[in-house]
């Protein structure tokens, strides 16, 4: 996004930042303005020297002036130094320091204004950008450009993450609605028909009642299955390792996939970390069953250095080359990893399977075999 911190104005000592609505009307904002909405076009590049050379030139000028003053003034220094001579030396030194402070303050004014402008940026108000910090050199301008571009990238990533999260949420709701309607709804409807038939005919034989009870019991089992998918009760009741064992056994029983487990018992983890590990393993194994065509998958959990690692490796045909970057499943796993300061890597080669590796920072890990 174009920005305009180049408007030539008189140097100002004020660090105040203003939200100037006049920018959107084509009026130049004051130095240090942070604005939202359309950004004015960039003005001509500033011809000032970089801050390093400006500060060096200012200090060199002060030293040259001091040297000239020593050369042209009839000041002599004796050893030991006299009190009057000491006063002259101290006074000259104080003047040089004050002059150097004044010059450096003028030279570094753009940095102070830029720092104040950065502090004004509100993450909850997207679209705010640093538009004008007054006169400055190319290095401050480059930093301003880089900061605004970073804001662009962060806002784009946030919008994309929210979009993917909402899409995944809506997809999960549609799946649950379909299961409730197609399976539980039909089962309960059948049970209601059987009850009505028994009531109309006046038959209350034990066999009819058992069939109705079996139908209702099947619906309850479906409700429990959906509840386990929404919140794995094994994670709360049995712990992470046993929950992963239960997950692997349950998924392996649903198809022809053989799942090997290499699980080490980690140290005590926060509930959110355990949930992230479980969900990544669940999503990875579900993808293996649905899409990979694999016959073997390996789930490994262990501690490597200061990281807790989870890996899911399969021998399937790998990910397609044209797989969209922001698929709901992969983006959801990456987002979960980011929330707990972890990293997720997915490596795949056609015909050689896929590896999903989750790394979470961990300190003081003492793991043993599960």
Domain definitions of the chain by residue range: 21-136, 172-228, 239-369
Neighbouring-strand partners of residue 299: 261, 312
Residue 60 DSSP symbol: H
Q: Which contiguous run of DSSP H or E holds residue 84?
A: helix 83-107
The lowest-confidence range among 107-111, 259-263, 318-322 is: 318-322
The lowest-confidence range among 45-59, 290-304, 341-355 is: 45-59
Residue 57 has pLDDT above 90, yes or no: no
pLDDT score, position 332: 79
CATH number of 239-369: 3.30.565.10
Share of the chain above pLDDT 70, in %: 78
What distance in Å separates the CA atoms of residue 69 and residue 171, rounded to the nearest whole number? 80
Residue 356 has pLDDT above 80, yes or no: yes
Stronger pLDDT, 323 or 194, i.e. the higher one: 194
Up-side HSE of residue 138: CA atoms within 13 Å toward CB? 6
pLDDT score, position 44: 42
Beta strands in 117-200 (DSSP E): 129-132
Collect all residues with Cβ–Cβ distance below 8 Å to 250 and sequence separation of at least 6. Answer: none
What distance in Å separates the CA atoms of residue 123 and residue 121, rounded to the nearest whole number? 6
Residue 201 has pLDDT above 80, yes or no: no
Q: Which contiguous run of DSSP H or E holds residue 304?
A: strand 296-304
Compute how many other C-beta atoms are within 10 angstroms of the C-beta atom of residue 17.
20
pLDDT score, position 138: 76
Stronger pLDDT, 355 or 110, i.e. the higher one: 355
* Mean pLDDT to the nearest integer, 83-107: 85
Helix (H, G, I), strand (E, B) or coil at 355: strand
Chain center to CA of 268: 25
pLDDT score, position 299: 94
User: Is residue 146 within 8 Å of 154, Cβ to Cβ?
Assistant: no
What distance in Å separates the CA atoms of residue 258 and residue 298, rounded to the nearest whole number? 9
Residue 144 has pLDDT above 50, yes or no: yes
pLDDT score, position 277: 92
Q: How confident is the model at residue 327 (pLDDT cuts 50, 70, 90)?
A: low
pLDDT score, position 13: 32
Q: pTM for the complete prediction?
A: 0.52
Helix (H, G, I), strand (E, B) or coil at 319: coil
Token pair for 84: 């009057």
Across all residues in the chain, what is the average pLDDT?
A: 75
The lowest-confidence range among 25-29, 91-95, 110-114 is: 25-29
Helix (H, G, I), strand (E, B) or coil at 187: helix
Q: Which is it for strands 296-304 and 258-265: parallel, antiparallel or unpaired?
A: parallel
Stronger pLDDT, 286 or 328, i.e. the higher one: 286
72-78: long-range pairs with CB below 8 Å, 24+: none
* Mean pLDDT to the nearest integer, 92-119: 84
Stronger pLDDT, 265 or 187, i.e. the higher one: 265
* Mean pLDDT to the nearest integer, 83-96: 84
Chain center to CA of 227: 29
* Mean pLDDT to the nearest integer, 32-42: 54
* Mean pLDDT to the nearest integer, 17-41: 45
Nearest in space to 137 (alpha carbons), one of 99, 104, 107 = 107
Stronger pLDDT, 134 or 205, i.e. the higher one: 205
Compute how many other C-beta atoms are within 10 angstroms of the C-beta atom of residue 258.
13
Collect all residues with Cβ–Cβ distance below 8 Å to 106 and sequence separation of at least 6. Answer: 11, 58
Neighbouring-strand partners of residue 354: 348
User: Is residue 356 within 8 Å of 311, Cβ to Cβ?
Assistant: yes
The residue assigned the tokens 């994670």 is 235
Residue 362 has pLDDT above 70, yes or no: yes
What distance in Å separates the CA atoms of residue 83 and residue 85, rounded to the nearest whole number? 5
Nearest in space to 113 (alpha carbons), one of 86, 133, 90 = 133
Token pair for 14: 């004020």
pLDDT score, position 42: 44
pLDDT score, position 45: 47
What distance in Å separates the CA atoms of residue 26 and residue 22, rounded to the nearest whole number? 7
């Amino acid at each position: 996004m174009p920005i305009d911190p180049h408007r030539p104005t008189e140097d100002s000592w004020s660090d105040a930042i203003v939200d100037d609505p006049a920018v959107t009307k084509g009026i130049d904002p004051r130095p240090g303005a942070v604005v939202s909405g359309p950004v004015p076009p960039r003005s001509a590049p500033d011809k000032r020297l970089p801050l390093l050379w400006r500060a060096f030139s200012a200090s060199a000028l002060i030293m040259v002036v001091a040297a000239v003053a020593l050369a042209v003034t009839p000041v002599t220094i004796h050893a030991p130094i006299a009190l009057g001579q000491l006063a002259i030396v101290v006074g000259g030194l104080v003047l040089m320091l004050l002059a150097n402070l004044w010059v450096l303050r003028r030279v570094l004014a753009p940095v102070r204004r830029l720092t104040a402008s950065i502090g004004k940026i509100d993450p909850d108000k997207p679209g705010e950008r640093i538009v004008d910090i007054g006169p400055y050199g190319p290095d401050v301008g480059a930093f301003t450009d880089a900061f605004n571009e970073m804001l662009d990238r962060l806002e784009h990533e946030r919008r994309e993450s929210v979009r993917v999260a909402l899409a995944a949420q809506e997809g999960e709701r549609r799946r649950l609605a379909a299961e409730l309607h197609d399976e539980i709804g039909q089962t309960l409807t059948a049970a209601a028909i059987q009850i009505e038939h028994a009531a109309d005919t006046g038959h209350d034989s034990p066999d009819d009642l058992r069939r109705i009870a079996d139908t209702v019991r099947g619906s309850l089992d479906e409700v429990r299955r959906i509840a386990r998918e929404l919140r794995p009760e094994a994670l709360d009741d049995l712990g992470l390792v046993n929950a992963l064992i239960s997950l692997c056994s349950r998924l392996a029983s649903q198809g022809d996939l053989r799942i090997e487990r290499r699980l080490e018992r980690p140290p005590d983890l926060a509930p959110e970390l355990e949930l992230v590990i479980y969900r990544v393993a669940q999503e990875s194994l579900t993808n293996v069953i649905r899409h990979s065509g694999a016959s073997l998958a390996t789930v490994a959990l262990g501690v490597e250095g200061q990281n807790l690692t989870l890996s899911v490796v399969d021998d399937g045909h790998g990910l397609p080359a044209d797989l969209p970057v922001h698929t709901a499943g992969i983006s959801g796993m990456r987002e979960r990893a980011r929330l707990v300061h972890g990293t997720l890597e997915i490596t795949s080669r056609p015909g050689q399977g896929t590896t999903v590796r989750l790394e979470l920072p961990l300190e003081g890990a003492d793991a043993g075999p599960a």
